[in-house]
Amino acid sequence: MMAVLDYAKTNFSGGLVDVDVPLNEIDVSKPYLFQEDSVGEIFRRLRREDPIHYCAESNYGPYWSVTKFDDIMKVDTNHRVFSSEAKLGGISIADMHAGESALELEMFIAMDPPKHDAQRKAVTPAVAPSNLTLLEPIIRERAGAILDALPIGEDIDWVRNVSVELTTMTLATLFDFPWEDRAKLTRWSDVTTAIPGAGIVDTFEQRREELIECAMYFKRIWDERVATPGGNDLISMMAGSPATQEMPFMEFLGNLLLLIVGGNDTTRNSISGGVLALNRHPDEYDKLRKNPALIQSMVPEIIRWQTPLTHMRRTALEDIELGGKNIRKGDKVVMWYLSGNRDDSVIDRPDDLVIDRANPRHHLSFGYGIHRCMGNRLAELQLKIIWEEIAKRFEFVEVVGEPERLLSNLVRGITRLPVRLHAKA
Ligand code: HEM
């Protein structure tokens, strides 16, 4: 069967993708494949026929795709060979510092040790278990208020009304950000991941200007926190640590954006993805209704099923063999978490949401190794709370239209999800 996808849908040139084309013509990097949610078939073929796949030509230059769970683990846990450094390209398939439009940001997710370790350590207390215990009642109260304000029986957009609201509120709390301005955090998060010309921002220049405005806003907060030290928020932590006190401007902005996007987009898309997943698996929704205690194991399963970041990328620092392929020093290596999370040699029925799996945290969505998501427990906490509060109030969050998805090969985003709420009897 020929399954030619309409390439004219994006601004990106570079040939048609067809699941039946010769292997060496496969290029999974095209953003529309993710927007259409059609990339899964291509990953399935790669896992079967060529799990470590070389693409010689793409809009991002040549790159390796690592598509199986165990191979991804090998790359992610070997930071001595597989570098995250921004100057070598960083952590996404698009090189961080390449091209005229590049912002040349520095952030600790795109650093190797020892600098990475020191900067990560500076902000980790914000998501330590003791802080999460303090955050839990605040998040719960807000989640309840958001849900109580929703109309029953009318069509609403779950993304804007719930997912965005809750995650932005949590982020504002982590930064101790001026409450009335918190919508700015959502905007900066969306602007950071947007492809200029495809919706949110029109040009690279506009994006640059908005992000510099973000840095200037945070600079004022930074100065206030320096004057009144000892706060428990992310900015006070960075201002108070020798590892982050003296950051150059682009490193300051870079780390801010890392914390904004890291804490926002991913969790938002998991909240939306969960509603979608349960609607696509009605038997699982029934299980949940009968036994809300399953929320505990459902939360990591939703994060696996959604896989909010499709990939992380590394650059090889030396020649190395992986799965019988010879990767050369300087090569770009893309770990497709979205594919690894659908690998049936490791996960049973990987395409299905199964809310009572025995080992649900065994997934790749948070990565592995020294860069493993710093906020993973906070993300899970937010999802747990929202589902517990949903279970108290609603019999069914019914999806009543097709989801709209983000045009991006990195963020697996749901931009709109029409739902209708059915109250509990
Ligand atoms: C790193 C995913 C929520 C902060 C990462 C990485 C992934 C990821 C894939 C890179 C892992 C690697 O390279 O091995 C997710 C997902 C989330 C989520 C799927 C939600 C479901 C959060 C939250 C925060 C956060 C709520 C809030 C603080 C970070 C930071 C890093 C990171 C700071 C960089 C860690 C480092 O380089 O050492 N995340 N994340 N993330 N995440 Fe998350």
CATH number of 7-423: 1.10.630.10
Strand pairing report for 332-336 and 63-66: parallel
* Cα 127 to averaged position of ligand 1 atoms, centre (Å): 11
Q: How many residues does the chain have?
A: 425
Residuewise pLDDT in 10s, the chain (425 residues): 222 233 323 333 344 455 678 999 999 999 999 999 999 999 999 999 999 999 999 999 999 999 999 999 999 999 999 999 999 999 999 998 776 566 788 999 999 999 999 999 999 988 899 999 999 999 999 999 999 999 999 999 999 999 999 999 999 999 999 999 999 999 999 898 877 777 788 988 898 899 999 999 999 999 999 999 888 899 999 999 999 998 988 898 899 999 998 878 899 999 999 999 999 999 999 999 999 999 999 999 999 999 999 999 999 999 999 999 999 999 999 999 999 999 999 999 999 999 999 999 999 999 999 999 999 999 999 999 999 999 999 999 999 999 999 999 999 999 999 999 999 98
3 state DSSP class of 363: coil
**Which residue(s) pair with 316 in the sheet?**
82
Distance between CA 106 and CA 61 in Å, rounded?
22
3 state DSSP class of 355: coil
Check pocket membership of 350 for ligand 1, CB cut-off 6 A. Answer: no
Strand pairing report for 332-336 and 311-316: antiparallel
Check pocket membership of 378 for ligand 1, CB cut-off 6 A. Answer: yes
Tokens of 409: 């090969």
Query: In terms of Cα–Cα distance, which of 276, 282, 299 is closest to 405?
Result: 276
* Cα 376 to averaged position of ligand 1 atoms, centre (Å): 7
Kindly provide the b/e burial profile for residues 363-398, where b requires at least 16 CB atoms within 10 angstroms of the residue's own CB: bbbbbbeebebbbbebbbbbbbbbbbbbbeebebbe
- For a mutational test of ligand 1's pocket, the pick from 84, 272, 373, 380, i.e. the residue with the most ligand atoms closer than 8 A to its C-beta, is 373
* Cα 221 to averaged position of ligand 1 atoms, centre (Å): 24
Check pocket membership of 303 for ligand 1, CB cut-off 6 A. Answer: yes
Check pocket membership of 89 for ligand 1, CB cut-off 6 A. Answer: no
Check pocket membership of 258 for ligand 1, CB cut-off 6 A. Answer: yes
* Cα 13 to averaged position of ligand 1 atoms, centre (Å): 31
Cis peptide before 114 (omega within 30 of 0): yes
